[in-house]
Amino acid sequence: MTATTIEFTVNGVSQQVTVPDDELLLDVLRRRLGYTSVREGCGVGACGACTVLVDGKSTSTCLALAVRADGADITTAEGLPPGDPVIGSFVEAGALQCGYCIPGFVMMATELLSENPRPTPEDISEHLEGNICRCGTYLEIRAAILAAARRKAVTEA
């Protein structure tokens, strides 16, 4: 197995790592760099718990090879700024139970609101279809995203 040295930024911090070509982005972010919000739930891209934004696009890191992230700008839930409307709305709406899947939903919501600042409940369901919350917090999550959209609109106005 060959190894490659790659450079990318995570939450604004540049990183350089040398990885085997088959190492997953999930393992680089979680095991090497300590981003605990990035979680393996299924290993097959079916639950969304490992979701991060790679150049603004939601990515299942359990299916992404780290070498492909060379030069990328990666955002994890830890990297959202203080006062981030999505984080704040999730907390205020009580949009969590065990909390394990929630950072993945937060990243999907962040992507959605950057593409569609005024999503309908149906838009939210379409966008979040690939994320599983086994505690069943979907209603609160949807309410939180609607609230975050309102909050963002006020802040940006």
Partner 1 sequence: MRKEKRVTDVPEPAPGGAEGASGAEGAGGAAGAVGQRWTRADAEAKVRGTFRYTADEPVGRVCYVGLQRASRPHARIVTVDTEAARAVPGVAAVLTGADLYRALGDRLLCGPAFGDQPALAYDKVRYAGEPVAAVLAWDLATARAAADEVYVEYEDLEPIHDVDEAAAGGPFVHAELRPSAVFGDLAHLSGRRETNVNYEYNLRKGDVDAETAGAATTVRGEFWSPPTHHVPIELPCTTAWPAGDRLEVLSATQTPSYVRQAVAELLDLRLNQVRVRSRPLGGSFGSKMYDRFEPLVAALAWLLRMPVRMEATREDAFLVTTRHGVAVTGHMSADADGNIVAAAADVRYDTGAYADIGPRIAAKSGMVACGPYRMAAARVRSRCVYTNKPSAGPYRGFGVPQVTFSHETLVDELARARGEDPAAYRRSHLLREGDTAAMGTVMHSADFVGCLDAATAAIGWDTPLRREEGPWRWGRGVAVGMKAVLTPTVSNAVLQLNQDATATLLISTVDMGQGSDTIMAQLAAEVLCLGPGQVRVVAADTDVTPYDTITAGSRSTYHTGNAVRLAAERMRDRLVFLGAERLGVTATDCKLTAEGVTSSSEQRSIGLPELIHGHFGARGTTLTTEASYTTQWVPYDHETGQSPRVTEHWFAGAVAVELGVDTRTGRIRMRHVALAADVGRAINPTMVEQQLIGSAIMGTGQALFDYIVFAEGQMINGTLLDYQLPSIKDLPDKITPIIIESPHRTGPFGAKGVGETVLIPFAPAVANAVREAVGVRITSLPLTPERVLAAIRENANGGTAA
How many Å from the N-terminal Cα to the C-terminal Cα in the chain?
A: 52
Among 136, 154, 155, 157, binds partner 1 (CB under 8 A): 136
Among 28, 93, 112, 149, binds partner 1 (CB under 8 A): 93
* Of 129, 114, 111, 105, nearest in space to 39 by CA: 105
Among 6, 19, 25, 47, binds partner 1 (CB under 8 A): 47
Interaction between residue 149 and partner 1 (CB under 8 A): no
Interaction between residue 153 and partner 1 (CB under 8 A): no
Among 114, 125, 150, 153, binds partner 1 (CB under 8 A): 125
Binding segment for partner 1 (CB under 8 A), chosen from 7-15, 65-73, 116-124, 149-157, is 116-124
Beta carbon nearer to partner 1, 71 or 98: 98
125/111 Cα distance (integer angstroms): 14
Interaction between residue 102 and partner 1 (CB under 8 A): yes
Binding segment for partner 1 (CB under 8 A), chosen from 7-15, 64-72, 98-106, 149-157, is 98-106
156/131 Cα distance (integer angstroms): 28
Interaction between residue 96 and partner 1 (CB under 8 A): yes
Contacts with partner 1, residue ranges (CB under 8 A): 35-44, 46-47, 49, 76-78, 80, 87, 90-103, 106, 120-122, 124-126, 128-143, 146
